[in-house]
Structure 1
């Protein structure tokens, strides 16, 4: 069963075209729009009745964005370049990777009824483009400055479709913690080497790690995996916007990351009072594994909690949950951020500490001397409960089920991934297959 049919079968979604709000012909005459199989699988017309991403800014830390592209014009802010001597990042004419990510998130199409070109999953979101310095000089990943800039300039979701095996610098770790403290959701691609070796920033605490799924419902063979994976999204033969070429087609976790960022923007738009972790909670609680199994209690190393289902995330009655949701928090992000909602006992731990903090000096002294037996017993029970139920340390301790599909599949050509180990900043691209005469 194809990915599209799987989502519809298990999600109760009717077939729909990818046109926005207005009545239009049943099929688009535009081959680019017709080729957006992933968007069609999400049933965008139903999604957009719930949310279009309005009033949410998504930062795209990447290669810069062509804000003049016909499918993006008006949705791209000036942003900032940390390369090429600085300046803005919204007028990129060379590298098309950042433009592609921006279009998958907030493309609005063009023409009558917006029926032509690329439509993003959150077409009313704003893109804050930030061009990363790709030089190997200094920090290898080199995203701490861009990350802080994004946080300070209003981004509520930050898309990082790049990955590398390099250990994070202290500045980068600090920047992630800064974003977490400011309640910004960080979304990053797992990488395209088909390995369980962690790539960063996706594997860092505080980041929502994303893998890629193919149209047949199986995880891509080149999609990196591991206990840090939380969600997967479409990442095979994805059409998007470009710079040197008007449109492009690519495969990899870059594209799946953009779709998750867009879904997060939709949720943040409809539920502005939810924390970043609670937004992630909605996405994971409504995700589904491609074989139709629901209700998995812990993330699978390949599928995480499953494929995003934006309509369900927007429409179902999902309890807000704990502040951090399914995210593992950086050690220094906040005092009570040891783990997310799936770590038992976090709220109980907070309650116990509240009781201890509220005791009077006389009561504390009584406990120390053994004079107040009943109170001492209560405190002992609470402390014991805290020890039994304390959350796992950041970066480990989360159980997961058996591996999903794609294990042992040799990596294929890695289209569309912004940074690859051994060749940072470079990626091969494949132009879209165009009908004769076009």
Structure 2
């Protein structure tokens, strides 16, 4: 693979941007006046009662993946905060020349272990990420004696993972990519992996990014280790999916994540997002909150916060819950989250049949009262999504074996999205790892239950979370092309290193539409494809792994044998090679590099890109 070709592709990828959502040490929480209108998400939800009981998030590590943050923002005084960046090659990254103009003034640099920005630098006093972190640990103090953003988990340990550079103007702008020494942008999946490896138990994701298949193992690493990932739907009236099935090609709808929508003080969904969206799991405060509106602001205002604020607020609440129940796994806390929502006293998860409110609005009081260790160490959102995908003809087979798909290939479901049923869900080959992970979690919990039935002690050592390190070493990834399956337990840099450095990371930046990629077979005719996909002449498809049905959900049957998802036509390689020839993207030399189409495009409309002004 010629280095010049790679560099050219990378430079084109740089032109993509990451869309952000709306628009983030409490020294003495009680010093901030109660009943302040913009602090209702603290005053009305039991947060101050938790503080009075010493429940402050202490001992819980949280990560915030967003744009660079103002490290000396006054609201962080006394907080345990740090600022990093998951830079793949080298210890720093810089703006690309394409952005050294109107959007970013001068050439700027982010360092891997010192990714913070100083207040006033370039005229910027706050960023989207600064707001988000403050909604978790902010002490309520702002600039020049003004109030600031107030967080709900003042003693949590929070690390920022910068995805790129902030810009001036409204905080619903873009994140400008930061390019490392190999001309590759910081990747969202890499940031998630770095946060999970760094010990984060909660990852707050108020940004969106499409991912290619090679980003799947990094996000799945966090799922496997019981890390709770909280994200938000878009701040717009665009309908989502018809049911809770997840999207394996989207960073903010990846299976197993908590997807939030925003509600006001009375629990009403904001009118801008009050639409069907099957992937919404939880409602969280995000309307009429005190926040900053522009990067140049030194005084906040009460206005709509958007689903990104709902994401950060919920992350803070979950940090309180983790500090209250330190023995519970992340999966068990997720079980409690969806079973103990406001108005649901059954103790069972109940999904809104209209697919607007998910499992309901977060109820912090219940989460602090109900011991989550009674629940299985199985990610319930992951389980629900895999099971539900098998119920629908359009999505059946998304998370089952794609062993006969060629390397670096994709399939597409039949139209399933809620927008007039016209949109499909793109499925990378690596989505099969999602089904494998759920199967692992279910089997691990059965072993825990058997241990307990036999009168054993310390049976939780067999649970999915507590065996994640062992699973890292054995979870297979697609064939490398040389007849050997690589292990997801090895870090991405391993495959780069063994290839002599030839396979540097290039992730498609958020806002770039997932590309059609190398070595894909031509689409077969027919609704679900012909030989090689499904129907007469197709190889036998293994049945989906047995999964116990979720309680409280009517009409759920055992999964049936899935159909094969059709694949798209082969396209020329972005490296200039003919389809099916040239370098194998799954080889050790190329495993850490993702490719995009030769002509990147932006989302239309951008997902998670706007504030909700009030």
TM-score above 0.5, yes or no: yes
- How far 1:203 moved relative to its partner? 2.1
CA pair 90-392 structure 1, distance change in 2 beyond 3 A? farther
Give the aligned partner of residue 244 of structure 1. 296
Equivalent of residue 282 in structure 2, options 212, 228, 231: 231
Question: Cα RMSD over matched residues?
Answer: 4.3
The answer to whether the 8 A contact 1:181-1:333 is kept is no
Equivalent of residue 332 in structure 1, options 400, 417, 433: 433
Gaps of 5+ in 1: 1-17, 356-385, 400-418, 433-438
The answer to whether the 8 A contact 2:232-2:307 is kept is yes
Gaps of 5+ in 2: 1-25, 88-92, 95-108, 165-174, 384-430, 454-542, 557-601
Q: Check if 1:217 corresponds to 2:271.
A: no
Give the aligned partner of residue 83 of structure 2. 78
1: CA distance, partners of 2:33 / 2:195: 40
- How far 1:124 moved relative to its partner? 0.9
The answer to whether the 8 A contact 1:51-1:269 is kept is yes
2: CA distance, partners of 1:225 / 1:90: 38
Give the aligned partner of residue 230 of structure 2. 187
Q: Check if 1:64 corresponds to 2:221.
A: no
The answer to whether the 8 A contact 2:267-2:361 is kept is no
Equivalent of residue 42 in structure 1, options 39, 42, 45: 45
2: CA distance, partners of 1:237 / 1:98: 19
Equivalent of residue 314 in structure 2, options 242, 253, 260: 260
Q: Check if 1:101 corresponds to 2:132.
A: yes
What are the Cα deviations for residues 206-265 of structure 1, in whole angstroms up to 9, with x where unaligned?
211111112332212333653332211011122135752132543311011111111111
Aligned pairs for 1:159-174 (under 5 A) are 159-163=204-208, 166=210, 168-174=211-217
Q: In terms of mean alpha carbon deviation, does 234-243 or 211-220 score higher?
A: 234-243
Equivalent of residue 322 in structure 1, options 376, 387, 407: 376
- How far 1:60 moved relative to its partner? 0.8
Residue 116 of structure 2 aligns to a residue whose secondary structure is coil
CA pair 311-175 structure 1, distance change in 2 beyond 3 A? same
TM-score (norm 2): 0.49
2: CA distance, partners of 1:398 / 1:72: 49
- How far 1:41 moved relative to its partner? 1.4
The answer to whether the 8 A contact 1:103-1:241 is kept is no
Residue 41 of structure 2 aligns to a residue whose secondary structure is helix
The answer to whether the 8 A contact 2:282-2:362 is kept is yes
Equivalent of residue 312 in structure 1, options 356, 366, 370: 366
Q: Check if 1:52 corresponds to 2:56.
A: yes
Equivalent of residue 129 in structure 1, options 128, 153, 160: 160
What are the Cα deviations for residues 341-369 of structure 1, in whole angstroms up to 9, with x where unaligned?
9xxx99569879x99xxxxxxxxxxxxxx
CA pair 115-274 structure 1, distance change in 2 beyond 3 A? farther
CA pair 110-192 structure 1, distance change in 2 beyond 3 A? closer
2: CA distance, partners of 1:319 / 1:217: 28
Q: How many residues align?
A: 348
Aligned pairs for 1:130-145 (under 5 A) are 130-133=161-164, 134=175, 142-145=187-190
Equivalent of residue 117 in structure 2, options 91, 108, 112: 91
The answer to whether the 8 A contact 1:336-1:350 is kept is no
Give the aligned partner of residue 403 of structure 1. none
1: CA distance, partners of 2:365 / 2:315: 14
The answer to whether the 8 A contact 2:62-2:200 is kept is yes
TM-score (norm 1): 0.66
2: CA distance, partners of 1:297 / 1:424: 28
- How far 1:190 moved relative to its partner? 1.6
Aligned pairs for 1:334-349 (under 5 A) are 337-338=438-439
What are the Cα deviations for residues 167-190 of structure 1, in whole angstroms up to 9, with x where unaligned?
x31232111111122321111112
2: CA distance, partners of 1:350 / 1:250: 45
